[in-house]
Amino acid sequence: MRLINLVVVIALVCAAAYVYKIKFDSTVQAERVARLRTEIRRERESVAALKAEWSQLDNPTRIQGLANRHLTLVPMDATQIESFDKLPDRPPAPVAPASTDPIGAMLDDNQPTGSIAPAPATPAAVPPAR
């Protein structure tokens, strides 16, 4: 009988220690959660402050004032706009000088030299463009 009482007392002490450990761990986790919530709130407040500062810096009237103060811009005249048909023609493509190198001339003509086999002309599987 005494042995059963001793086993039950030891089991109760172990159960109490385990319950205390669980309570202590949950208290530590609750403190961690509170600390993280405070940090999240602080970060949200700083993001809100940065968004407010960005909207102030991105204000078009402020940018216009800075442009007027620091740049010497003048309004564009309607006479400055022309149509494409009044643009000058493109200059002709430059002509390559005649080469005296026969091997270089063969390479420039895209002729196979026999040392490299031509690549097969099978199309590769390409995913469709979006």
> Mind listing the pLDDT tens digit of every residue in the chain (130 residues)?
889 999 999 999 999 999 999 999 999 999 999 999 999 999 999 999 999 999 999 999 999 999 889 988 888 888 888 888 888 888 887 776 666 766 766 665 555 555 555 565 555 555 555 5
> For residue 83, is it within any domain?
no
- Nearest CA-CA partner of 32 in 20, 16, 24, 48: 24
Number of domains in the chain: 1
- Domain extent at residue 20: 2-70
Domain-embedded: residue 104: no
Does residue 79 sit within a domain?
Answer: no
Q: What is the pTM of this model?
A: 0.44
Residue 54 token pair: 């960005």
Specify the residue for token string 């740049």: 71
Residue 119 covered by a domain: no
